[in-house]
Every structure is written in C-alpha cells, then in structure tokens.
Chains A and B, each alone.
Chain A
Amino acid sequence: MNDNILELTGITKIYSNGVVANRNVSVSFRKGEIHSVVGENGAGKSTLMKMIFGIEHPSVGKIVYKGKEVHFANSMEAIKNGIGMVHQHFMMIDDFTVAENIVLGMEPLKNKIFLNKKESVRITKELAQKYNFDMDVTLHVGRLAVSAKQKVEILKTLYRNAEVIILDEPTAVLTPQETEVLFDNLKHFKEMGHTILFISHKLNEVKAISDRITVMQNGESRGTYDNKDITIDQMTELMVGRKIIMSYDQFKEPTDKAVMAFKVENINLNKKGIEVLKHVSFGVRAGEILGIAGVQGNGQNELISGLVGLSRFNTGKWFIENKELTSLTIEQKRHSGLAYIPEDRMKDGIAQGASVAENLISSYYKREDINGKIFMNNKGINTLANRLIEMFSVKTKSSKSKIESLSGGNIQKVVVARETNTSPKILIAEQPTRGIDIGSEEFIHHELIKMRNKDVAILLVSADLNEVMEVSDRLIVMYEGEIVAHFDTVKGLTDKELGLYMLGAKRQDEESIRRALTC
C-alpha cells in the first residue's frame, strides 16, 4: 500500500552560515490530499517546501517523488516534474495581462514563430473555468486585487500541469471571505486529483481545510496527524511547547520602576481596508522588560516599524518620559533615547558591505568623540570598536573586517553592542535572538537584563515563547492587531494558557488590557 506521491526521509538542512533550518524531518504526502504543514515562523516550513521545489537542497536525507528518488537542481526541474509552488511574494509582471503571465515561458505559437495571443486567451480562459476561477484573463495583473493575483499564480502552476501544488502562507494576504473562496477552490483541486501542500500558522484554517496535518517546531517535525485526531489546543502545544525552561530571575536586580519611560497611546493602522493595528496602548517603565508575545503577523512588525519611524500610523502618539516622539525624525527619536534592535539584522540591522567598526558606530556616528566635524576620528572609532568587540566577545579577525564575514550570532552581537552603547532610555528589541546559536542567544539575554538592571526600559518582541517567558517582567499578547491580554508577571503563566490568547481563543476584559498602559 503506497499511495504516497511524495516522501521526505531524514531531511536535514544546514545553511552555510551554520543556521540549522531543518533537522531530521520525515514526512510523506499522499496523492490527492490536502496536507497542512504548520508551525511558527522560523520553524522551518518554508525551507522544507523550498527543498521539495528545488530552490534549496537538503544537506542530508532524501526526497522520493512518485517512487523515484529525485534531486531537483532548480525549480524548473520541479515544475517539469509536476510540482508547482505559489510563493508568498508573487512572481508576476504587473504590466502583462493575466493570460500573458500564465503562458510566459511556454507560449502557444502560430506559424511556429509568432505568439498566438488568441490561443493564449482561450487556453487560460478555459483553464480558469475548469478550476472555477472567475476572472477576465485580458486584464493587466497590476490592476488586480491581491486575491485575484493569487489565483493567477495558482493558474500558472496548473498551466504547467502541476500535480502537487505548494501554497506558502496563501491566506496571509486574504480577507476571511477570500479565504473561504480559496478553500472551496482547493477542495475542488483535491477532487480533481491534485495534491495540496498548505503552509500556514493559522490553526483554525488548517483545521478547516486539511486531511492531514504535520506540525513543525524549531526545524523538526513533531509528527503527522489525521485532522480528526488532533485539536487546535494540541497543535498549539506542539507548535509552541517549550522544552527547556530557564529563568533569568536570579540575574534580575530589584529596580524601583518609578518612571514611565515609554508610553504608547491608541495606535491605529489601516492598510488597504484591513485594520492592522487597533487601539494599541501600553507603557514600559524604566527598569523593566515588557514582552510582546504573539504569533507572527498579528501586527507586531507594523507596530515596531512605526514606533521607530520606518513607517507611519493612521493615529496614535508615543512618548519617551514626557517627550512626544510621534512626528520626530528617526534621528531625533534616537537622540531622545530610543534604541532599536531590528528583526531583520541583515537588511535593517547592519550595512553588509561595511566593516565591523563602521557598523558599531553607524547609529551615532555624529557623536563628538568619533566625528571631528570634517573628518571622522579614526583613532577614536578604533578604540571604541575594539572596546565593544572585547566587551561583547565578538568573534572577528579585526574591527576592520567586513561584517558579512561574521556568523549570524556575532553579527547580532555587533547590533546589540551598538544599540546598547547609546545609553538609551528605551530599547526596542525585535526578535533579538532569532536564528542564532544558543551561546550568543544567552549572551544577548544577559545583556538585555544588564540594561534592565541599569534602569533602561526594554520592549521585547518575540514569536519565541521561551524568550518572552524567560526574559520579560510583564507581558502583553497581540492577536490580529490588538492587545488581547496583559500579565503583570509571567510567573505561573503556562504555555497553554498563553497559546489560547495568541491564537485568539481567549481574551481578557477591557479593564485588564487597559492595565498595559497604566500599571
């Protein structure tokens, strides 16, 4: 009995920078099923799918497709073999029509040389009808709504005769109504014999659509279950369940928390009709760490990027002590005492082509001890850089080495060193330890606590439950752009209870939530 179309056995993926994305994962997918792969961001779902699709290659393990072991060199080979993938970011040309986008690369011809535009339109129209997609294929893709663009992407895979269709977080960009339509389409595909691999972290959706579900955590598979055999609660526990419980309590010194160092009032953000942030208000006192827990994509990114000045809100005010930051420039915000450890360290945290020393001063290069009005004070920069490198035990050949030659953990140490060196009043740390080795992770946690002990207010955003539970003093939970819970202390809080708030199953009353601001 082997109706598996695709089998993964013992897949391990280690990136060249040492990050382990998948560890010994074995999953099999049956022909004609909707099989969901769930897990938090960074759990290794996407990497696993990229390996199936030929974009990445496993370090260890084998992939068997239709009974034969395969090693796709690139996505083209996967496509030729009947595997299609709809990426989170659409791969389409806005100035082309729907039909042109679908046939691009495999265009129907007339007289062997010319494009057969009529035939392209006819074929794509037929294809759309066959799969119950209602759309005008002569429209330009740039003018379509996101949900329609997604349909075009799906049609592209079907035009290329995909038997296995991988959908990477397809519902992230859809409204609930659009999601329902998509699910109807997917069920129709299943009836027509296609195998659907559905990647998501939204458990209620997964529960609604799947035949079987594979749960991933931290790069490993926590097992494959029939939909009827697993509840949302159980999935949550597998997804976010902690293994080792550490506590940094012993390192925390008592602080008086007298000053409200950072205050955020009534932030709202509306993006293309979707409310991304709703009435977000909270405060962080000097000498405490406020954690923001939540599944990724519930507004945390938008909140932080607005607070630090990278994007704008529709309404809302925020303050350091009593100084309003709302409409200040980023430089002025930083001068007022804001420091920021960004989530995407390679893109926002560092300048990749610059040296370690340059990256260590980039957020305060105008300071007098390193900037002599006309020329930079290279001696000063070097002394400072070498001191920080030693303090943070950054493993680098010299302060002049290019920062990209460092490992992820050491790059992050450079970012943390720079941001803590500005003596901030509030430090916003966004996923400060994602994807780095345990040694660096612990080091950075200790640094955060040292800052806290020195009366700095810290806002810690993390999708990693371990991290928020171990490091924070207080905790708020975000779900769909709102604060749904506030906890004065993390002591006694269980993963399971937190998980229920994170997934929207539970919500505190308004009074308790309001304490996030006033306490």
Chain B
Amino acid sequence: MPDLFEIIFKPEFGFTVIRVVVPILFAALGAYIASSAGIGNIAMEGTMLMAAFVGTICSAIFQNPWIGLMCAVLSGVLMSLILTYFTLVLKTNNILGGIALNLFASSFTVFLLFIVTGSKGTSATLGAKTLPKIDIPILKDIPVLGTIFSGHNVLVYIMFAAVILVYFLMYQTPLGLRIKAVGKDEHAAESVGININRIKTIALVLSGVLASLGGVYMSMGYLSFFSKNMTNGRGFIGLAAAAMGHGNIWMVTITSFLFGAFDALANALALYALPSEIIITIPYVAVFGAIVIYSIFEWRNRRARGEE
C-alpha cells in the first residue's frame, strides 16, 4: 500500500487538485461577484446543475460540444435572470428565490433526463461529445509543471483566464467599482446616480455565466455524461470559499484551491481500505472546519475592533 505522503507529493496529485477545483472555483468566482454587489446568490448549485444537464443534452443533439457549452451558458444566464426577477422585481427574499431555483433544477433535470433518455440516473447512453483536452506545447515537456498543468480540459484554462478577467473587472473597471459600491452601500451608490438594479442584474448574470461554466465542466469534462445531482454541493462549497475570501479575489481563489485539495485528497484516499462513507465526507468536513475557524477569527477581530 503506497504511503499517503508519497501520493500527495507526486505531480499527479497537483493535476488532480486542478481537475477537481474547476467547478468549485467557477462557483466561487460567481458567488464573489454576486456578493460584491450585495446579493447572496445561493442558486449557484442549481444553476450549475442545470448547465451540466443542458450542456450535455445540447452537445448530444448537435453532436458538437461547443454548441453544448453555449447552450449551457445561456441556461446559466436564464437561471440568473429568473433570480433577478424574483429579487429585484417581485422583491422576494433572495435566499428563498435561490432555494426555489435549486429545488427546481434538482428535480427538473431528472424529469427531462427521463423524457430524453428513459433513465432517471445518467445520460451516458446519449453519447454526448465532451470538450477537448489540451496539451500545452513546451510546457508539457517540462517535468513536474508539465504533469500538473498540461493535458487538462479546455475549461481548466478558461478557469485560469476567468480568474484574471474577474480580477480586472472587479479591480480595474468602473463596473467593478460600482458593483462594490452597490454592495457596500446602496444609498450612497444611488446618490451619485448609479442605477442599482442594473448593476445587480449585471452582477447576477455574470455569476450565472461563471456557475454554468463550472456546471458544464462536470458533465463535459470531469465526466462525459450527466448524472442526477452530479454537482453534489460544489456550488455551496464555492459559496463558502467566496465568503471566506472576504471580498478579495486572491483569497477566494486560494480558499477554493484549499477545498479542491481536500477533494483530491478524498480521491487519493479511496485507494485505501477505509470506509468510503468516511472518505467522501472529507471535503465537506474540511469546509465545515474551515468555516468554524474562519468564524472564530472573524469574531475575534470584531471583538478586537469593538474594544478599540
């Protein structure tokens, strides 16, 4: 039986971390934008699931993964617009709207899956095309780095690009500044003529697009088919990462990778003769533990500030 440290310190482990972090980091980026605008978008999970389903179905129908990807992103935009309509027009509580969308996505995808494939479990029989893997020239021949970073699904590279783009959006453009202004103090933002509803809509749509990229990765990259509830809480883990990143995109990214590492660890431990029920709880226990630690720090900070 191989030593655990041997597994973790192999380049292949790095490769796995990147492989599993994709949906979490996309969700975290989306949640980060939404929460910067002052909205807790807990519909991330449902949006991802819907995109995973729509992507693979459209890919099968058109026999083209790129059309599948586009349809998935459209479904993400649509889900976000529904949430926007709930919260900004009908003025429902965004948590309730998010719960409704999550429940809807979880059951509606199974319903459609059954209609399309006759199965309530997976879409494996459809033979949908998946998104391609990319070998990076030069990089792929470098030892260690090549093993870790090359040969991933195209969405992995889109993810790295997304981190950079979101950074520029949030830190270097007027839109980013306004999104943050709206999130910090609506009235102050409104008093200088910022259209709050417009900004919030944009933020939610962007978060929906990012969520859908994370979702479509699940069914067209990580796996090659859709299976019932396949996102399995990754949207919520992303939300947790975004919250713990404390409004700082680098912290959001690092926290996501931390969660990804625990996920990869769980995968690695599957080789051991441990009860699988315990192993699959590792990522979630890690999130739970991280949130407890984070909350204690926050509480201490608040207390320290209060005593100033």
Which residues 36-89 of A have a CB within 8 angstroms of B? 75-76, 79, 87
B181 cross-chain contacts in A, Cβ below 8 A: 93, 96, 104
B187 cross-chain contacts in A, Cβ below 8 A: 91
Q: With an 8 A cutoff between CB atoms, is B189 at the interface? A: yes
Main secondary structure of the interface of A (DSSP, over half): loop
A503 to B168, CA, bound (A): 56
Contact: B174 with A93, CB < 8 Å?
no
Question: A348 to nearest B CB, angstroms?
Answer: 21
Contact: B184 with A95, CB < 8 Å?
yes
With A76-B193, A104-B189, A115-B173 known to touch, is A93 a contact of B178 (CB < 8 Å)? no
Of B184, B192, B193, the most chain A CB neighbours within 10 A belong to: B192
Contact: A105 with B178, CB < 8 Å?
yes
Of A91, A92, A93, A107, the most chain B CB neighbours within 10 A belong to: A93
Of B168, B177, B185, the most chain A CB neighbours within 10 A belong to: B177
With A92-B188, A93-B185 known to touch, is A104 a contact of B177 (CB < 8 Å)? yes
Which residues 209-233 of A have a CB within 8 angstroms of B? none
Contact: B189 with A107, CB < 8 Å?
no
Which residues 193-235 of B have a CB within 8 angstroms of A? 193-194
A115 cross-chain contacts in B, Cβ below 8 A: 172-174, 176-177
Q: With an 8 A cutoff between CB atoms, is B125 at the interface? A: no
Q: With an 8 A cutoff between CB atoms, is B191 at the interface? A: yes
Question: B191 to nearest A CB, angstroms?
Answer: 4
Question: B126 to nearest A CB, angstroms?
Answer: 41
Contact: A104 with B173, CB < 8 Å?
no
Question: B209 to nearest A CB, angstroms?
Answer: 19
With A107-B177, A115-B173 known to touch, is A93 a contact of B193 (CB < 8 Å)? no
| Interface magnitude class on chain A | 20 to 34
Question: B261 to nearest A CB, angstroms?
Answer: 30
Q: With an 8 A cutoff between CB atoms, is A275 at the interface? A: no
Which residues 93-108 of A have a CB within 8 angstroms of B? 93-96, 100, 104-107
Question: B106 to nearest A CB, angstroms?
Answer: 34
Of A79, A92, A104, the most chain B CB neighbours within 10 A belong to: A104
A91 cross-chain contacts in B, Cβ below 8 A: 185, 187-188, 191-192
Number of CB contacts from chain A to chain B under 8 A: 51
Contact: B173 with A105, CB < 8 Å?
no
Q: With an 8 A cutoff between CB atoms, is A114 at the interface? A: yes
Contact: A104 with B194, CB < 8 Å?
yes
A420 to B97, CA, bound (A): 44
Which residues 316-336 of A have a CB within 8 angstroms of B? none
Of B185, B187, B191, the most chain A CB neighbours within 10 A belong to: B191
Contact: B188 with A105, CB < 8 Å?
no
Question: B254 to nearest A CB, angstroms?
Answer: 21
A340 to B104, CA, bound (A): 50
A87 to B177, CA, bound (A): 23
A87 to B176, CA, bound (A): 26
A106 to B181, CA, bound (A): 13
Q: With an 8 A cutoff between CB atoms, is A109 at the interface? A: yes
Closest to A74 in B: B193
Contact: B192 with A109, CB < 8 Å?
no
Question: A211 to nearest B CB, angstroms?
Answer: 28
Q: With an 8 A cutoff between CB atoms, is A113 at the interface? A: yes
B192 cross-chain contacts in A, Cβ below 8 A: 91, 104-106, 156
Sort A-B residue pairs by CB-CB distance and give the 10 closest, nearest first: A105-B192, A91-B191, A91-B188, A107-B174, A76-B193, A93-B184, A114-B172, A105-B193, A93-B185, A104-B192
Given contacts A93-B184, A105-B189, A115-B176, 5 further A-B contacts (CB under 8 A): A91-B188, A94-B184, A104-B178, A104-B181, A106-B192
Query: Could you list 22 A-B pairs, sorted by A, with CB under 8 Å?
Result: A76-B193, A91-B187, A91-B192, A93-B184, A93-B185, A93-B188, A94-B184, A96-B180, A104-B177, A104-B178, A104-B192, A105-B178, A105-B189, A105-B192, A105-B193, A106-B192, A114-B168, A114-B173, A115-B172, A115-B174, A115-B177, A156-B192
